[in-house]
């Protein structure tokens, strides 16, 4: 089902197409509302069944900060918060969700998230290469254009970009440098939401559907691939021969590595006998390839994987739905979010089934999925746990979560400088320090506290935010210490200070009035490094 997206509508001048916009928005909203209604029904039915009273609906102040962080990857500016609070429309939350989903910040934020999820953290040299060879740009385009997720999976796994705009899609395989086990171990969670490391040496001990043959089968789908540096840039070539071997289990008996993965039927392929030599002849490759590009085998294992295993596999939709749910809700319907195996039953099985079917039927429309979750009642609950005994997988309150390194870096930059730079030192420092994205449990290590307390680049960034229009000079311009306290709290926390907080800030500033710049930077530091800023709630 092809749905007109909101992005496609954005550039249309409103006066000329009022009617069209009206209709389309109604249609879009109507469909999203279906999914939202379903989420609301399923989640509240489970509350009723378990006798859970959910938290109350969150305030607008809370909502605006939360939704900016989840959709745009940063806290709102003081002005953005006030604009939202002053908006009197009943459906202003929906309007905000929609406008954020169309924003460039959203593309950047989801590119940040999916870079960490699909590729893992890396040293700065690797981040540079990801940017230089188009991977970063590819991810940004995927989310800017709201590209269908099944298409993205195909582009990444076939890794034969048809035009230079998609060159970056090869990087998922290329960065793993011909390490075919690393590729298999990345493909399984990325597109099927399962982890298979266990199955390298033995069938999965408790999730019996994950067999050792699947581990080595998945490796085999990629083991004819080899990195190639072409005039057009990095490519992942593929041979038409080889890649046959046996794997041994713990008992020592060995099995051939057939092209098989999970419940898909084994892709037939003729195996040479042990004394048979295969020749890597031209007829094994597609005729008339593009000059300069690696030739493509007629029997391409990567392509077979995509057409015979990936396409139509229910886990492709299910894994993405569960992951997006985890991004928005703080934990997956299956938890951990990338272990959709028989060991980890979903908390809301029917909802997960329904959303997965709906996601596939919508043409793997990621933005529509995000939209429907953001609109749900559960997403808009207060972060106050209603009772000690209420389990987190009831989604009866908004589960607080630490900001990712990038959310933190973006938020600090916006709050202090009013703008954002992807390559700022503070971004690099933070992403080398705070590695977790969608953590299974929240544990803040002391090394983070040491970082916030003593890292020189963070310290410099805060102290030097004293230029025109930047936080320290804005605060300094205020007439009274009370106004300063209010400005700081509104900017950093998006709310007014309590009386106690005002008093604490005023006292601090009064004591150090002879060094007011330093004093303001200390207050900013103390607010940025406190839990209210560190978490989304």
Residue 336 preceded by cis peptide, ω within 30 = yes
Q: Which is nearer to another protein, 260 or 394 (CB)?
A: 394
152 alpha-carbon distance from chain centroid: 14
Shortest Å, Cβ 464 to another protein? 11
Residues pairing with 226 in the sheet: 237
Using the minimum distance from each CB to another protein, give the nearer residue, 400 or 490: 400
Which C-beta is closer to another protein: that of 150 or that of 436?
Answer: 436
Residue 74, both tokens = 């940063």
Kindly calculate the radius of gyration of the chain based on its CA atoms and give it in whole angstroms: 26
DSSP-derived secondary structure letter, 519? H
Q: For tokens 């890649």, name the residue.
A: 243
Q: CB under 8 Å, gap of 24 or more: what pairs does 124-130 form? A: 124/428, 124/432, 126/175, 127/428, 127/431, 129/175, 130/171, 130/175
In the complex, the smallest distance separating the C-beta of residue 528 from another protein, rounded to whole angstroms, is 9
Residue pair 107/140 in contact by the 8 Å Cβ criterion: yes
Measured from the CB atom, the residue of 10 and 442 that comes closer to another protein is: 442
The residue written with tokens 């900016």 in the block is 68
Residue 358: closest CA among 369, 348, 345: 369
In the complex, minimum distance from the CB of residue 274 to another protein, in angstroms, rounded to a whole number:
28
Closest CB to another protein among 275 and 388? 388
- With respect to another protein, which residue has the nearer C-beta, 410 or 431? 431
How large is the angle between the packed helices 499-511 and 481-493, nearest 10 degrees?
A: 120
- Bridge partner list, 229: 234
CB nearer to another protein: give 3 or 198: 198
Q: How far is the C-alpha of 255 from the C-alpha of 267, rounded, in Å?
A: 16
* Nearest-approach distance from CB 449 to another protein, in angstroms: 4
What minimum distance in Å lies between the beta carbon of 508 and another protein? Answer: 6
Which residues are within 8 A (CB) of 333 and not within 5 positions of it... i.e. 6 or more apart?
A: 321, 322, 325, 346, 347, 348, 351, 352
- The one-character DSSP state at 259 is B
Report the nearest approach of another protein to the CB of residue 371 (Å).
27
Find out whether 524 and 514 touch, Cβ atoms under 8 Å. Answer: no
How far apart are the C-alpha atoms of 144 and 8, rounded to whole Å?
Answer: 11
Q: Which is nearer to another protein, 212 or 362 (CB)?
A: 212
Whole-angstrom distance, CA of residue 234 vs CA of residue 437: 28
3-state secondary structure 124-167: HHHHHHHHHCCHHHHHHHHHHCCCCHHHHHHHHHHCCCCCHHHH
Backbone φ, ψ for residue 303 (5° rounding): -65, -40
Nearer to another protein, 15 or 250 (CB): 250
CB of 521 to another protein, least distance (A): 9
Please state the closest distance from residue 324 (CB atom) to another protein, in A. Answer: 18
Q: How far is the CB of 22 from another protein (least distance, A)?
A: 41
**Cβ distance to another protein smaller for residue 7 or 181:** 181
Indicate the residue among 91 and 460 with the shorter CB distance to another protein.
460
As measured in angstroms, the least distance from the Cβ of 69 to another protein is 15
Q: What is d(CA 466, CA 487) in angstroms, rounded to the nearest whole number?
A: 15
Burial class of residue 471 (count of CB atoms within 10 Å of its CB; 0-12, 13-18, 19+): buried
Nearest-approach distance from CB 271 to another protein, in angstroms: 28
């Amino acid at each position: 089902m092809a749905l007109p997206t909101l992005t496609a509508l954005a550039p249309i001048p409103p006066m000329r197409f009022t009617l069209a916009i009206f209709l389309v928005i109604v249609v879009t909203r109507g469909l999203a509302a279906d999914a939202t209604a379903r989420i609301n029904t399923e989640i509240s039915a489970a509350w009723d069944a378990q006798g859970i009273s959910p938290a109350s609906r969150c305030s607008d102040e809370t909502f605006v900060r939360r939704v900016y962080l989840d959709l745009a990857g940063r806290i709102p500016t003081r002005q953005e918060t006030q604009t939202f609070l002053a908006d009197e429309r009943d459906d202003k939350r929906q309007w905000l969700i929609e406008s954020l989903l169309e924003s460039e910040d959203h593309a950047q934020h989801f590119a940040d998230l999916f870079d960490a999820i699909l590729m893992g953290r890396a040293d700065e040299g690797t981040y540079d290469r990801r940017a230089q060879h188009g991977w970063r740009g590819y991810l940004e385009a995927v989310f800017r254009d709201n590209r269908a997720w099944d298409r993205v999976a195909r582009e990444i796994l076939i890794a034969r970009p048809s035009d230079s705009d998609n060159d970056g899609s090869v990087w998922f395989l290329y960065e793993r440098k011909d390490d075919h086990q690393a590729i298999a171990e990345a493909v399984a969670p990325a597109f099927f939401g399962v982890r298979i490391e266990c199955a390298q040496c033995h069938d999965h001990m408790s999730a019996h559907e994950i067999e050792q043959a699947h581990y080595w089968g998945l490796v085999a789908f990629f083991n004819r691939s080899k990195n190639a540096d072409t005039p057009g840039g990095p490519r992942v070539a593929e041979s038409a021969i080889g890649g046959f071997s046996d794997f041994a289990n713990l008992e020592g008996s060995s099995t051939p590595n057939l092209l098989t993965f999970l419940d898909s039927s084994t892709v037939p392929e003729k195996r040479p006998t042990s004394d048979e030599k295969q020749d890597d002849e031209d007829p094994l490759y597609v005729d008339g390839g593009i000059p300069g590009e690696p030739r493509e085998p007629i029997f391409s294992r990567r392509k077979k994987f995509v057409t015979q295993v990936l396409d139509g596999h229910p886990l492709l939709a299910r894994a993405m739905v569960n992951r997006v749910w985890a991004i928005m809700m703080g934990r997956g319907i299956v938890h951990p979010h990338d272990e959709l195996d028989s060991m980890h039953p979903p908390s809301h099985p029917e909802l997960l089934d329904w959303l997965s079917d709906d996601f596939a039927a919508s043409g793997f429309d990621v933005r529509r999925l995000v939209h429907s979750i953001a609109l749900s009642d559960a997403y808009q609950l207060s972060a106050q746990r209603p009772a000690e005994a209420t389990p987190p997988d009831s989604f009866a309150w908004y589960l607080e979560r630490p900001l990712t390194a990038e959310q933190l870096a973006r938020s600090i930059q916006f709050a202090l400088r009013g703008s954002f730079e992807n390559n700022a030192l503070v971004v690099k420092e933070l992403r080398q320090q705070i590695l977790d994205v969608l953590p299974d449990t929240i544990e803040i290590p002391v090394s983070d506290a040491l970082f916030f307390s003593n890292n020189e680049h963070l310290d410099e960034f805060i102290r030097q935010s004293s230029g025109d229009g930047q936080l320290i000079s804005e605060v300094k311009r205020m007439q009274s210490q009370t106004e300063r306290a209010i400005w700081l709290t509104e900017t950093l926390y998006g709310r007014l200070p309590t009386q106690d907080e005002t008093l604490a800030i005023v006292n601090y500033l009064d004591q150090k009035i002879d060094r007011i710049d330093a004093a303001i930077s200390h207050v900013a530091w103390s607010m940025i490094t406190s839990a209210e800023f560190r978490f989304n709630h």
